[in-house]
Structure 1
């Protein structure tokens, strides 16, 4: 990565830090027991993570949701997802860990992915101290964070000390090998264009051949390689240039026997959960919340040997519902 591209990445990062989501929640609406920042030791340096601790009357270990922000692997900060993390922690009674993973081009693939997975393993190792349940973990992310989230879920399969029970993939980038010029939008000026996408890929992939690695481009994984992935909530937006690869990944997961809760939001573009329209953003966040609630409940009942009632029909917003 040349000096000019590195400078451009830093300028984009500075701009992204000043950005504010248009659709947010009042923090007072979702009070927490504790909000704190922790530095988690990893091979790539200390990982800054925001911890959202809910008020809960139970002394049982808490389920955990690991959130990975968007930003093309180059920019973005966990604070962009702050109000949503507060909502999820409060409403679900789970610990939300909002991670500030390392960014490209300083840390190209697979550093951000491997660091995110290392944080997941650290959480499992510290489960007793933290009071969390390592067998009830969900991961999720937006855009590039969606790519990382499904990569983390892939790495966590058959892990001895932890279990990912659900993954949330929100308008994800899943095929870095395809020429961005071939990724078309249904509107004239999509938020995420081919030029910006190409820049993100150059920063993230120090070797262009890495684009063919299924951990960089999850859509390129074979059906066999996706078997055993956790149940999935996958969100796409009608006008987003990433819509087609998100829908194709949902289909491939189904072929691998994975339960997929999929929803394409009409008349929306990339980042609509943060930028609006407000009513649609609210619907998407409700879908995420409902999916996680059911996943945590199912995992808890499975451990106790009991059954869980399915969610009422009206809260299933997806095209395919979990049985």
Structure 2
């Protein structure tokens, strides 16, 4: 870590905190019992997390969705995903935990990943007090958060006190060994460009050798090492420079026998679930919601039958906010 790198990261965070999604949901459409903030003890200090509690009529323990925000491992805050977490908590009757994990370059790989996993273990340890079911946990994230989510799901395999039943990987970076210059887009200026990608990578990987670790670059994991991963919803975007590695990871998961619900959204770029186009963003969130509902219900669904098909067109209201 160097001073210039840290300064750039802080400036980027300040800019990111002011950003708002162009596609968001009206919170009034998804009333909840409560939203509160907790500080969860971890080896990297207290981790701030937003807890979204549904108005659940059942006394049964709640399933849990751990949400990990995007931002290149460097920027981003859980509040960027607030309206989506409200929707999922309300519509699924689950507890959504929206985590503010530690960021690079101050906390490079594997700090954010390991902290996120510690939070998962803390949730399982507090299951009775929280009223949650540690055998019905899903993890998911957007961009960098999608990378962390599949890493958490990997670490959770075979755990004695918890079970990850589904992972959501939304336009994630999954291979740090490939030069960003070789990650191509049909657009001349995609949202996530080569220079920004290089900066994110240099912050996150304090040792370039870490790029070869499958926990950093999940695409590098051998097929046999992916056996037993949870069923997966994997979303990519046509114009995103991360599209190819997302599609390659989906195929490798399928080769490992993992049910994969894969959808590439045409005419969309990185972060389209937050920035639009609106119809595509809505379709993607419906896809995520439907996949989690199936996972939490305990039913085994043949997800591959839906691969590259449109999600059901349920209608939800959304507000438009300028960035």
TM-score, normalised to structure 1's length?
0.94
Q: Which residue of 2 aligns with 1:302?
A: none
Hey, what's the Cα distance between the residues in 2 that align with 1:228 and 1:319? 23
Matching of residue 319 in structure 1 with residue 308 in structure 2: yes
Hey, what's the Cα distance between the residues in 2 that align with 1:10 and 1:319? 38
Q: How many aligned residue pairs are there?
A: 309
Q: Which residue of 1 aligns with 2:285?
A: 285
SS at match of 1:102: coil
Structure 1 residue runs of 4 or more that deviate by more than 3 Å after TM superposition: 308-311
Q: Tell me how far 1:319 sits from its aligned partner.
A: 2.6
Q: Which has the higher contact order (CA 8 A, sep 6+)?
A: 2
SS at match of 1:24: strand
Q: Tell me how far 1:177 sits from its aligned partner.
A: 1.1
User: Which digits, 9 at most, give the CA deviation of each residue in 1:270-299, with x for residues without a partner?
Assistant: 00000000011000000000000000002x
Q: Tell me how far 1:317 sits from its aligned partner.
A: 5.4
Q: Which residue of 2 aligns with 1:208?
A: 208
Q: Which residue of 2 aligns with 1:176?
A: 176
Unaligned runs of 5+ in 2: 311-323
Q: Which residue of 1 aligns with 2:45?
A: 45
Hey, what's the Cα distance between the residues in 2 that align with 1:21 and 1:107? 26
Specify whether residues 317 and 29 from structure 1 end up closer, same or farther in structure 2 by C-alpha distance, changes over 3 A only: farther
Specify whether residues 214 and 273 from structure 1 end up closer, same or farther in structure 2 by C-alpha distance, changes over 3 A only: same
Aligned 8 A contact 1:62 1:95 in 2: yes
Matching of residue 276 in structure 1 with residue 276 in structure 2: yes
Unaligned runs of 5+ in 1: 299-307
Q: Which residue of 2 aligns with 1:4?
A: 4
Hey, what's the Cα distance between the residues in 2 that align with 1:264 and 1:309? 23
Q: Which residue of 1 aligns with 2:234?
A: 234
Q: Which residue of 2 aligns with 1:103?
A: 103
Aligned 8 A contact 1:287 1:317 in 2: no
Q: Which residue of 2 aligns with 1:249?
A: 249
Q: Which residue of 2 aligns with 1:115?
A: 115
